[in-house]
Amino acid sequence: MTTATFSQTRWSLADLFDSQDSPKMEAALKQLEEMTADFETIRERLLPEMSQDEFLSIVQYYEKINVQAYQVYGFASLQFAADTQDQVALAFMARIEQFLTELQNRTLFFSLWWKGLDDGPAERFMAVSSDYRYWLEEMRHFKEHTLTELEEKIVNLKNVTGSSALGTLYDTITNRYVYKVEVDGEIQELTRGELMVYARHYDPVLRERAYQELYRVYGDDGPVLGLIYQTLVRDWANEQLNLRRFSSPIAARNLINDIPDQVVDTLLEVCQKNAPVFQRFFHLKARLLGMDRLRRYDVYAPVAKSQKRYEFGQASEMVFDAFAHFEPHIAELAARVFKENHLDSEVRKGKRGGAFCSTITPALTPWVLLNYQSRPDDVATMAHELGHAVHSMLASDHSLFTSQASLPLAETASTFGEMLLIDRLLAEETDEAVRRDLLFRQVDDAYATILRQAFFALFERQAHELVGQGASVEELANAYMENLKTQFGDAVDVSDEFRWEWVSIPHIYQVPFYVYAYTFGQLLVLALYQQYQIEGESFKPRYLKILSAGGSESPVKVLAEAGIDIYQAEFWQGGFDVIKGLVDELEAISV
Ligand SMILES: [Zn+2]
């Protein structure tokens, strides 16, 4: 394909609206109001015996309202992301949020009716469209775990002052923390984000100080934070096990992700078995840092420090090139984001930090935000976010409700895109220091998203069991230390303050068992990548099939149709074999 050279620009939102006070926006808001009022009148027409055609037209109308709402909200939120200091944009977003919440409440009756419907008529209605089917089916998954309307109301009411209030209390306590670290003879007062920069610093003393300070602060409140955790875990057991009749604490989360319990068990088992791969990596890292043994403080220590920079035009060509090498159509789709001016890559004051890809509706090319600063990391991020965009575009034939991949599959194209780029860079890069940087980054990331998260999930599983048996906070902290020892073996020295690490992980408080989705997503991509390396050409159509399925089927089914059986431990092992290959290569170039 021919590549034009692109330069860094600000995006245009004109494919949505020209401005927030344009006549088109006014008309859209007015129409939304009218359509919602219209939709409310169908309430009395919702009958188990209505015709399939009537049901289909209701669903299509519901989709139409949502498409319009997504466009309005998409504009408001993207405008705000482009300049978070713009008070007018902020006020507009708040107004739209309020407006849409009201509309949502007015249309809520449809999903409530649908969930309460008997299986017979529901089956008849689901047959009307193969595309809406999974979305309709998924809403009904919770039918047997749903209580009576009155009980649901009481649960909601009591959660406000119960588990939600405890979650807020946890946030309020921990967000106030100030960390003090001595840097160059001066005491600095830092937020957690600022503190963690030192945890990745090249100076081993600063890394140590950062971690010690982090867990000194959390440890001081350890008994209180631990008590909050115990209470949330008991609340989870009361609601999910006793009232909703889930078979285990993790099963409630698995159903939300639509991943069978057995698959999650296999995934976590394979992770546990493969901890030694990362232990080998940590031994190597220690050697390169000139240490006998890595301390837990050094897990994210930088090893090489290459100064390689890639200017924007060159970076975009590298990404297109890596994508095109795999499949030209993917590169063409990625280029559409640039050509339609849906990419904001400039670094500007007030612009949201980090990077994201935002898909508004299936019909529109996604918008991508980057803060491009020419580091190798920035090129990888570009490949990652463009991978997300490609995923959406490949699935754009589906409805609004079925185009977006569900959480466990959401990072497939993005991480795969990054892998394609890294492979291409490694194939062309002759500078050993740059190669080593790239490989280290890969394995560091794999550790943080795969093994670390898997061991959090393993701890959660154990902690929920222990709390059920009446364990004290002290006993939970001991169990956490044991968990770390299994994870790191003899490769890493874990000092005692890490016994408080678990009380510093918001996810295990706010969204129990959320963390394994990271493990699932990342390891899935590595396993797919291994199949690509083994099979070459014949893998490509299967991979594209996974992406173009979007969210129109359950993860198990999407993958099964591409010939992948996630019930098999061997499949997940394939992902670890890729990591093992990276560590082998690192060992080879680090003699
Ligand atoms: Zn992502």
In angstroms, what CA-CA distances link 523 with 267, 274, 411? 9, 12, 10
- pLDDT surpassing 60 at residue 408: yes
Element containing residue 358 per DSSP (H, E): strand 356-358
Residue 196: CB partners within 8 Å, gap ≥ 6?
A: 210, 214
- Per-residue pLDDT of 40-83, as tens digits, reads 999 999 999 999 999 999 999 999 999 999 999 999 999 999 99
What's the order of all strands across the beta sheet hosting 367-369? 343-344, 367-369, 356-358
Q: Look up tokens 């990404």; give the residue.
A: 319
CA of 65 to the centre of ligand 1 (A): 28
Asked whether the predicted pLDDT for residue 3 surpasses 80, the reply is no
Q: Where are the beta strands (DSSP E) in 71-216?
A: 179-183, 186-190
Compute the average pLDDT of residues 177-184. Answer: 95
- The candidate with the shortest Cα–Cα distance to 577, out of 537, 527, 542, 536, is 527
Distance 308 CA to ligand 1 centre (A): 24
Separation of first and last alpha carbons in the chain: 40
CA 378 to ligand 1 centroid distance, Å: 14
Ligand 1 center–CA 446 separation, angstroms: 14
- pLDDT of 260 over the 90 cut: yes
Task: Kindly give the distance from the C-alpha atom of residue 391 to the centroid of ligand 1, in angstroms, as a whole number.
Answer: 11
Tokens of 553: 């089927």
Predicted confidence band at 157 (pLDDT cuts at 50, 70, 90)?
A: confident
pLDDT band at 429 (very low <50, low <70, confident <90, very high): confident
Report the number of secondary-structure helices (H) and strands (E) in the chain: 25, 7
Ligand 1 center to 414 CA (angstroms): 6
- Which range among 118-127, 166-175, 314-323, 336-345 shows the weakest confidence by mean pLDDT? 166-175
Q: Record the tokens describing residue 532, joined without a space.
A: 């690509």
pLDDT of residue 357: 97
Query: What is the DSSP-derived secondary structure letter of residue 517?
Result: H
pLDDT over 80 at 370, yes or no: yes
Question: What's the pLDDT at 305?
Answer: 67
Task: Give CA–CA dist 84/155, Å, rounded.
Answer: 36
Of 112-116, 147-151, 393-397, the range with the highest mean pLDDT is 393-397
Dig out the tokens for 47 from the structure.
């009958």
What radius of gyration do the chain's Cα atoms show?
Answer: 25
Which residue shows structure tokens 């609340």? 235
Percent of the chain with pLDDT over 70: 99
* CA of residue 415 to ligand 1 center, whole Å: 7
Alpha carbon of 383 to ligand 1 centroid (Å): 10
In sequence order, the 6+-apart residues with CB closer than 8 A to the CB of 582 are: 439, 442, 443, 446
Distance of CA 410 from the midpoint of ligand 1 (Å): 7
The DSSP element (H or E) to which 368 belongs, if any, is: strand 367-369
Question: Which amino acid is residue 439, in one-letter code?
Answer: L
pLDDT band at 4 (very low <50, low <70, confident <90, very high): low
Residue list, CB under 5 A from ion ligand 1:
414
Mean local confidence (pLDDT), 13-36: 97
For 195, list phi and psi in degrees, rounded to 5: -60, -40
pLDDT in tens, 291-337: 999 999 999 998 876 778 899 999 999 999 999 999 999 999 999 99
Name the band, by pLDDT with cuts 50, 70 and 90, for residue 261: very high
User: Distance between CA atoms of 121 and 116, rounded to whole angstroms?
Assistant: 11
**pTM of the full predicted structure?**
0.89
pLDDT recorded at residue 284:
96
Residues 176 and 66: their CA atoms lie apart, in Å, by: 38
d(CA 446, CA 523): 8
Distance 367 CA to ligand 1 centre (A): 14
Query: Does residue 1 register a pLDDT over 50?
Result: no
DSSP-assigned states of every residue in 192-241: HHHHHHHHT-S-HHHHHHHHHHHHHHHHHTHHHHHHHHHHHHHHHIIIII
What pLDDT is stored for residue 165 in this prediction? Answer: 92
**Average pLDDT along the chain:** 94
Does residue 14 contact residue 326 with C-beta atoms inside 8 Å? no
The token duo for 393 is: 């575009």
Confidence (pLDDT) at 441: 86
What percentage of the chain carries pLDDT values higher than 90? 83
